[in-house]
Structure 1
Amino acid sequence: MVIDKIINNNIVSSYDDKGREVVVMGRGLGFQSKVGQQITKSRIEKIFRMESSEESEKLQAVLADIPLEYIQIVDEIIAFAHTVLTNKLNKSIYITLTDHINYAIDRHRQGVHFSNALLWEIKKLYQKEFCVGKKALEIIWQRLAIELSEDEAASITLHIVNAEFGVEMPNTIDITKLIQNVIKIVTYHFQTALNEESINYDRFITHLKFFSQRVITNCNNHGEDEVFHKMIKNQYPEAYECARKIKAYIEKEYGIDLPNEEMVYLTIHIKRITMDHQDE
């Protein structure tokens, strides 16, 4: 690869052997270098291949004024995320998380402390992702001796969730609130606390993440199986009644009429988590 553009002393852009634009990171890689110069492989620390030229430009703009240590921190955080999460992260996480970490550290150094209103919900609903957020704080402390709060861990968590589900931050916040409200409906309907340690609760939360994403983005293109729908409705009447309340809430708040398939899976998950309570 040869240098196509020098972004800063440590970042250059180039093209790989398939003609795709890449952003190349390495300490001193752009220092006293020239466009057209061959990139020494041994000096390359990381190669970023984005999904589009637009995203590549955004990444270059973000990386241009950010210290190399911050970029290395983000790379380490994302590497850890890949070891604990099932879902693949969208590559845009390199843009959003790098920008956020830079802003969070700068804000901390100025003595400005951030309070995340969704901290409790995020810790409860995105446990694996919050584990990544906590690990991020640990990495930042180890590398920079800067101690950020749990509120920042929660914000980092939302960026990870964004990258998992391919949505923007406002949508992720709406999804988080929607999940919390659905859980409240289930809790109030059955007048009991849910067992948050059970595998069925974990499965329910996973289902709600995708369910909420479909609601927020208004993407409910499912087939209809009326026979199966009637069978579930009749077999689990109490769980179905709870799902019906969720359906009414969704219609009122979002103007969306949940299809039968969504009702079926909601009912099944609700039945499972209420069985956890009955088994105790």
Structure 2
Amino acid sequence: MKVVKVINNNLIKSFDDKNNEVLAMGCGIGFKKKPGDEIEERLIDKVYTCNDQTTSNQLIKLLEKIPLEHIQATNEIISFAKASLGKKLNPNIYISLVDHINFALERYKKGVILKNALLWEIKKLYNHEFLVGKEALHIISRRLGVNLPEDEAGFIALHLVNALMDDLSMEKTTDMTKMIQKILSIIKYHFNLELDEYSIHYERFITHLKFFAQRIFTGIKIEDQDTQFIEVLRLKYKKEYECTLKIRDYIKQEFDWDLTEDEMIYLTIHINRITTI
């Protein structure tokens, strides 16, 4: 790769072999370089592919002002997350997470500790992402010598959840988490019991709720396939169906979303499975 533009000593704009605009980052990679010079491969720490000019500008603006060691720690965290989760992350995670971690470190140095109001929910609903967040704290501690509180593992987990779901903002991801927790609370109070969070049925239900909530926040409805089956469930699983009606009313009141009969069917069946002891 050749230098197209030197952003600073640690950041260079270039093009890859497919003629995609990229940003190459590394310690001293831009020192005394000028357009047309070859980029030394050994100095490249990370290459960011820019899909459009807006992303490129955002990255440049962000990477210019953030310390290199903060960026390197974030890159290691994202690499670990990709390997651990085994799923594709939205490329914007490089912008959102490095910005969050840099801000968290600045806050910590000033003695400002931000409590995560959703920490309990995140641990329960996004356990894998939370464990990655915990490992992220170890990476930050090892690289930067800063021991951030567990609350930050929760915030990092939410950024990962957001990066796993297309078309959702961080705000919507947070609202989605609150929605899932509220639905679980409705079920617990309706049946007056504690749910077995380690059962396979509970795990499947949580997965269903995640996709259910994602559909609501992205405006995707599933079409009704069997309108007669809801009548069967209404009689066979009366108490479970009554619980589903409460969930339907909550969704309508809070999010102005009308549940389809298929969604009512799925919820009723899942509720029966997780409440049958």
Same fold (TM over 0.5): yes
Q: Provide the residue aligned with 2:156 in structure 1.
A: 156
Identity between Structure 1 and Structure 2 (%): 50
Aligned-CA RMSD value: 1.7
Q: Aligned residues, how many? A: 276
Mapped contact 1:224–1:259 kept (Cα < 8 A): no
Query: Residue by residue, what CA displacement relative to the aligned partner does 1:93-123 show, whole Å, maximum 9, x if unpaired?
Result: 0000000111111111111111111122222
- Aligned mates of 1:228, 1:52 — CA distance in 2: 48
How do 1:2-13 residues align onto structure 2 when only pairs under 5 Å count? 2-13=2-13
Q: Provide the residue aligned with 2:245 in structure 1.
A: 244
> What letter corresponds to residue 171 of structure 1 in structure 2?
K
SS in 2 for 1:112: coil
> What letter corresponds to residue 127 of structure 2 in structure 1?
Q
Mapped contact 1:50–1:92 kept (Cα < 8 A): no
SS in 2 for 1:79: helix
> What letter corresponds to residue 110 of structure 2 in structure 1?
Q
- Aligned mates of 1:222, 1:16 — CA distance in 2: 44
SS in 1 for 2:107: helix
Deviation at 1:45, TM superposition (A): 2.1
Deviation at 1:160, TM superposition (A): 1.0
Query: Residue by residue, what CA displacement relative to the aligned partner does 1:196-241 show, whole Å, maximum 9, x if unpaired?
Result: 1112212211221121122233322434332444454454333222
How do 1:62-211 residues align onto structure 2 when only pairs under 5 Å count? 62-166=62-166, 167-211=168-212
TM-score by length of 2: 0.93
- Aligned mates of 1:8, 1:138 — CA distance in 2: 29
TM-score by length of 1: 0.92
Q: Provide the residue aligned with 1:225 in structure 2.
A: 226
SS in 2 for 1:161: helix
- Aligned mates of 1:67, 1:148 — CA distance in 2: 17
- Aligned mates of 1:260, 1:184 — CA distance in 2: 22
- Cα distance change, pair 271–84 in 1 and its aligned pair in 2 (3 A): farther
Deviation at 1:156, TM superposition (A): 1.1
SS in 2 for 1:268: helix
SS in 2 for 1:135: helix
Q: Provide the residue aligned with 2:264 in structure 1.
A: 263
**Structure 2: stretches of 5+ with no match in the other structure:** none
Deviation at 1:274, TM superposition (A): 1.4
Q: Provide the residue aligned with 1:274 in structure 2.
A: 275
- Cα distance change, pair 269–40 in 1 and its aligned pair in 2 (3 A): same
Mapped contact 2:222–2:263 kept (Cα < 8 A): no
> What letter corresponds to residue 262 of structure 2 in structure 1?
E
Query: Residue by residue, what CA displacement relative to the aligned partner does 1:35-57 show, whole Å, maximum 9, x if unpaired?
Result: 22221223222211244332222
Mapped contact 2:9–2:31 kept (Cα < 8 A): yes
- Cα distance change, pair 205–28 in 1 and its aligned pair in 2 (3 A): same
SS in 1 for 2:8: coil
Mapped contact 1:133–1:157 kept (Cα < 8 A): yes
- Cα distance change, pair 231–135 in 1 and its aligned pair in 2 (3 A): same
Deviation at 1:18, TM superposition (A): 1.8
Query: Residue by residue, what CA displacement relative to the aligned partner does 1:177-199 show, whole Å, maximum 9, x if unpaired?
Result: 10110000111111100011112
- Cα distance change, pair 274–49 in 1 and its aligned pair in 2 (3 A): same
Mapped contact 1:50–1:91 kept (Cα < 8 A): no
